[in-house]
Amino acid sequence: MPKRIVLAYSGGLDTSVLVRWMTEEMGAEVVALAVDLGQGGDWDAVRARAVAAGAAEVEVVDARNEFASDFVAPAIRANALYEGKYPLISSLSRPVIVRHLVDAARRHGADAIAHGCTGKGNDQVRFEVSTRALAPDLDVVAPVRTWGFTREDSIDYARKWGIPVSATKANPYSVDQNLWGRTVECGILEDPWARPPADVYELTVPRNAGGQPKELIVTFEGGSPVALDGQPMPLDELVPALDAVVGPFGWGRIDMIENRRVGIKSREIYECPGALALLLAHADLESMTLERDVAHEKSRLEPRWAELVYDGLWFSPLKMALDAFFAETQRFVTGDVRLRCEPGTAPDGTGSCFVAGRRSAVALYEHDLATYTAADRFRHQDAEGFVRIFGLGIETWATKQGPGSQGPGKQGTGKQGTGQPGTGEAGPGQDRAGQGMAGRPAVTPPSPAPAPPGSPGLGEPAG
Ligand code: ARG
The pLDDT of residue 7: 98
Kindly state if the Cβ of 176 falls inside 6 Å of ligand 1. yes
Give the Cα separation of 382 and 389 in Å (integer).
11
Taking the centre of ligand 1 as the mean of its atom positions, its distance from the CA of residue 263, in whole angstroms, is 14
User: For residue 418, which amino acid is it?
Assistant: T
C-alpha of 380 from chain center: 40
287 is catalytic: no
Kindly state if the Cβ of 123 falls inside 6 Å of ligand 1. yes
Taking the centre of ligand 1 as the mean of its atom positions, its distance from the CA of residue 264, in whole angstroms, is 12
The pLDDT of residue 168: 64
| Full strand arrangement of the beta sheet holding 139-141 | 57-62, 29-36, 4-8, 112-114, 139-141
123 is catalytic: yes
Taking the centre of ligand 1 as the mean of its atom positions, its distance from the CA of residue 109, in whole angstroms, is 30
Q: For the domain made up of 175-290+332-369, give the CATH fold.
A: Argininosuccinate synthetase, chain A, domain 2 (3.90.1260)
Kindly state if the Cβ of 91 falls inside 6 Å of ligand 1. yes
Helices assigned H by DSSP within 332-451: 367-370, 380-390, 392-400
In sequence order, the 6+-apart residues with CB closer than 8 A to the CB of 28 are 1, 2, 3, 4, 5, 22, 112
Q: Around Cβ 271, how many Cβ atoms within 10 Å? A: 26
**The domain over range 4-166 is classified in CATH as 3.40.50.620:** yes
The pLDDT of residue 9: 98
The ranges assigned to domains in the chain are 4-166, 175-290+332-369
Among 14, 91, 123, the mutation site with the greatest number of ligand 1 atoms within 8 A of its Cβ is 123
User: Over the chain (463 residues), what is each successive 10-residue block's mean pLDDT?
Assistant: 95 96 97 98 96 98 98 98 98 98 98 97 98 98 95 93 79 93 96 96 89 96 98 98 97 98 98 98 98 98 98 98 98 98 87 97 97 96 98 96 78 44 38 39 43 44 55
176 Cα nearest atom in ligand 1: 11
**Which residue's CA lies nearest to atom 8 of ligand 1?**
176
Phi, psi dihedral angles at 341 (to 5 degrees): -110, 135
C-alpha of 43 from chain center: 29
The pLDDT of residue 167: 62
**Which residue's CA lies nearest to atom 11 of ligand 1?**
176
The active-site residue, picked from 49, 123, 284, 336, is 123
185 Cα nearest atom in ligand 1: 11
Tell me if 52 sits within 8 A of 193, measured CB to CB.
Answer: no
Taking the centre of ligand 1 as the mean of its atom positions, its distance from the CA of residue 123, in whole angstroms, is 6
